[in-house]
Amino acid sequence: MKINSIRSIRRTELSKAAFEAVVQFGLRGTTLDRVGDIAGVSKGVVLHHFKDKSNLLEAVFRRSNSILSESVVELYRYAESSHERLWCVIIANFASVIFNKRVCQAWVSLISEVPHNKQCQRIQIACNARIQSNLTYSLKNFLGNQDAKDAARHLGTLIDGIWVRSGLLVDPVDSSRAISEIQFAVSKIIPNGAISQEKHIIAREKIESIASIVLGSRAFQEKLLKVISK
């Protein structure tokens, strides 16, 4: 880690710069020169640290997904019941540090790299599988095995749908609106008998308030950096 430190620092800086370029100029407008400009180095440096543009974009993609995964892990530490664990996964996906216009639009731009990039596919599949398994695990407390799986798949797809729409449509991205859309789905999926709505809302609100503090904190950001620069 000591040996690679400069390299990994540069890789982190450059993928941040690349992300910024995607935010500002879209995927088609993101050139190596611009990425270099934003990072304050020459284009050559970019290609010195990443073998090519696909490799760079892949790093950006991995970065965004890591932030998401780590957020779930972090929130899990504070969860004390299965409802709370369920809401950890959901809130992590829609906490405003993560879920906002810039990021959603960048994500929509980035995913166009996936179909023709095996590595990105791998990342996406892993990330999806993890979210789904987290959801399934929590849902098994309220539903039978097969129902829990179906419901987890359903919620996962819905999360992707909300992300895509937030990136595509012009209306402002709104965390609480996104969450209440999920709440709508959850309330339909989990039969009223299994668990009272109130308990769910309490769990959601607890995790939501933890998320707004924890995910935005300096400590968490620094923790992330270590994970991300791998």
Partner DNA sequence: ATAAAGGCTTACCAGTAGAAAGTTTTTTGT
Partner DNA sequence: ACAAAAAACTTTCTACTGGTAAGCCTTTAT
Q: Which residues contact a second copy (rule: CB under 8 A)?
A: 25-29, 53, 105, 108-116, 121, 124-125, 128, 150, 153-154, 157-162, 164-165, 167-170, 181, 184-185, 188-189
- Identify which of 70, 53, 45, 60 has the alpha carbon closest to the alpha carbon of residue 15: 60
Question: Does 1 help bind DNA (rule: CB under 7 A)?
Answer: no
Give the gyration radius of the chain's Cα atoms: 19
Indicate the SS3 state at residue 144. Answer: coil
- Identify which of 141, 228, 156, 143 has the alpha carbon closest to the alpha carbon of residue 190: 143
40 DSSP 8-state letter? T
Residue whose CB is less far from a second copy, 89 or 159 = 159
Task: From the list a second copy, DNA, none, pick the one residue 43 interacts with, judged by a Cβ distance below 5 to 8 Å according to partner type.
Answer: DNA
CB of 86 to DNA, least distance (A): 42
Question: Does 224 help bind DNA (rule: CB under 7 A)?
Answer: no
Distance of CA 168 to the CA centre of its chain: 17
CB of 221 to a second copy, least distance (A): 25
Task: From the list DNA, a second copy, none, pick the one residue 51 interacts with, judged by a Cβ distance below 5 to 8 Å according to partner type.
Answer: DNA
Instruction: Return the number of other C-beta atoms located less than 10 Å from residue 92's C-beta.
Output: 26
CB of 189 to a second copy, least distance (A): 6
Among 41, 111, 127, 185, binds DNA (CB under 7 A): 41
User: Is the C-alpha dihedral spanning 50, 54, 57, 61 positive or negative?
Assistant: negative
Residue whose CB is less far from DNA, 30 or 64 = 30
# chain residues binding DNA, by CB under 7 A: 23
Task: From the list DNA, a second copy, none, pick the one residue 159 interacts with, judged by a Cβ distance below 5 to 8 Å according to partner type.
Answer: a second copy
CA distance 156 to 190: 15
Residue whose CB is less far from a second copy, 114 or 207 = 114
Separation in Å, CA 51 to CA 44, 47, 213:
11, 6, 38
Among 16, 53, 153, 165, binds DNA (CB under 7 A): 53
CB of 176 to a second copy, least distance (A): 15
Question: Does 42 help bind DNA (rule: CB under 7 A)?
Answer: yes
CA distance 137 to 115: 29
CB of 18 to a second copy, least distance (A): 14
169 DSSP 8-state letter? S
Are 127 and 68 in contact by the 8 Å Cβ rule? The answer is yes
Q: Where do contacts with DNA occur on this chain (CB under 7 A)? A: 2-4, 6-7, 10, 30-34, 41-45, 47-49, 51-54
